[in-house]
Structure 1
Amino acid sequence: MVDPSKHHEEQRRYRAENHARILAKEREPASKGTKKKWRADNPQKRAEYQRKYRAKNKEAHAARNKKWRLSHAAHVKASHRIYYVEHRDQEIAKSRIYYAEHRDLQLAYSKIYYAENRERILEQQAGYQHRVKSINTIRHDPDTVYRVVSRAVSSALPRFMRDDVIASMLLAVLEGKLLLELVGARVKDYVTGYNREYDTFKTLSLDAPMGGTDLRRIDLLEAPTPYEPENDEDEDMVMLRGAQSLWR
């Protein structure tokens, strides 16, 4: 009977001596297809081998995972966000359990974080308070908010456009996206957004083709009819021109 330890040792030695040859063979399409078929036919064995490898090479596996997460930070963040949305209740329950079991650790971490980011936290709190104030104001006194927004939007705009801009700004205030203190400063942004969405003042080229056709807008314009002089000019107009006829 073959000793397993000796057999594995011989395999390791052979792979070390013929590393390039083995890699070239493994990269062949036939070899890849065989491996893919084996993984599909033996999912339990594959999972077991992976568990053994991770247990045996724990540090290397953790380092490789960390490197991958750092190089794909956006993908990891998006995946975490999707998972949290799909398992929100489960994640909240898990967070509560963890906080209850590690309350002292969480308090210590919170104190350290607050000390390092005090100005940022105060700024966020102030912004939150301003948003709450704006939302409460429009809920309890909408007429006053409407007057403030209406006074900020220029009356020189077309009526339909002005009404839409005011409605967008009121909705933004209600959703907490626009503070009452910044209504005057943000009017330009909402007017620009309206123009970008509806192309109110878009300039059309006469040489540009019309949608769905090969015609240009200039092709639909009629050429002006040449003016032909009239023999019977108005005598009063001739007199006003100092007795000078246009045609004589």
Structure 2
Amino acid sequence: MPAEKRERTEELKARHREEQQRYLQRHGARNKDRINAAKRAWKERNAEKVREYNRKRRATEKGREAKAAENRRYRAAHSAAVKTYNRAYYCRKISIMQVRTSPDEVYRRAIAALPSGLPRFIRDDVVSSLCLAILEGEINVNDMAAQAKVYLRAYNREYDTFQTVSLDKFIPGTKTTYLDALVAA
């Protein structure tokens, strides 16, 4: 729906509400007894609907009250766990907001947490993984330095950049093995 049409619809709704309120104030003040009599008559004619409505409303209210009481009992019994959960929840929210509001700062902190001798392509992949983990709520910005090692290890396992080479393997482009090259040296 275009913005102009939406604004026009809202204006019409607001004007209708105002007119309805004015009418009810004028009409209701003069015919209060008649309105109440009509309401009573409708309730008598639709007694089953009224009973069903009231039953549902009471059940909903009782259910809400029971759930609220259960939540209060749980929080009282497990206050330390609830506090820990809430603290972690809000830390995650703060970390996500930091990435959204100042991603360059978070990116700089992630780069600083990694060893400077890493090739750029590896550092970029690990930093991206760290930022994604923050956005997903797995880690906090404050824990990034400690978690950088874990994510670097995961990268090395996945891509095996610094792999161990067998001495029996041929040196690429030659017919010599690594062991032969070591013995000859």
Alignment TM-score > 0.5, same fold:
yes
Q: Which residue of 2 aligns with 1:29?
A: none
Distance 1:100 1:154 in 2: 59
1:186 equivalent in alignment to 2:147 = yes
Distance 2:128 2:88 in 1: 23
Distance 1:203 1:151 in 2: 27
Distance 1:206 1:123 in 2: 52
- Whether contact under 8 Å (1:99, 1:106) holds in the other structure is no
Partner of 1:168, secondary structure, is helix
Q: 2:138 aligns with which of 177, 200, 206?
A: 177
Distance 1:99 1:197 in 2: 52
Moved more, 155-164 or 126-135: 155-164
Q: 1:106 aligns with which of 67, 90, 99?
A: 67
Q: 1:217 aligns with which of 160, 164, 170?
A: 170
Distance 1:108 1:101 in 2: 10
Question: What does 1:34-113 correspond to in 2, within 5 Å?
Answer: 100-113=61-74
Distance 1:171 1:104 in 2: 40
Q: 2:100 aligns with which of 130, 139, 144?
A: 139
Distance 2:60 2:132 in 1: 37
The structure-2 alpha-carbon separation of the partners of 1:127 and 1:220, relative to structure 1 and needing over 3 Å to count, comes to same
Partner of 2:138, secondary structure, is coil
Please list every run of at least 4 consecutive aligned residues from structure 1 whose deviation after the TM superposition is greater than 4 angstroms. 98-101
Count of aligned pairs between the two proteins: 120
Q: Which residue of 1 aligns with 2:166?
A: 205
Q: What runs of 5+ residues in structure 2 fail to find an aligned partner? A: 1-58
Deviation at 1:103, TM superposition (A): 2.1
1:157 equivalent in alignment to 2:118 = yes
1:126 equivalent in alignment to 2:68 = no
More helix by share: 2
Distance 2:104 2:123 in 1: 17
Q: What runs of 5+ residues in structure 1 fail to find an aligned partner? A: 1-97, 208-215, 225-248
- Whether contact under 8 Å (1:152, 1:187) holds in the other structure is yes
- Over residues 104-128 of structure 1, what are the superposed CA-to-partner deviations in whole Å (9 max), with x where a residue is unaligned? 2212211111111111011111111
Distance 1:164 1:99 in 2: 51
Distance 2:141 2:119 in 1: 24
Deviation at 1:161, TM superposition (A): 1.0
Distance 1:99 1:200 in 2: 60
| Identity of matched residues, % | 39
The structure-2 alpha-carbon separation of the partners of 1:99 and 1:150, relative to structure 1 and needing over 3 Å to count, comes to farther
Partner AA of 1:217 in structure 2 = F
Aligned-residue Cα RMSD (Å) equals 2.5
Partner of 2:92, secondary structure, is helix
The structure-2 alpha-carbon separation of the partners of 1:200 and 1:100, relative to structure 1 and needing over 3 Å to count, comes to farther
Deviation at 1:102, TM superposition (A): 1.6
Deviation at 1:166, TM superposition (A): 0.9
Q: 2:76 aligns with which of 76, 101, 115?
A: 115
Q: Which residue of 2 aligns with 1:36?
A: none
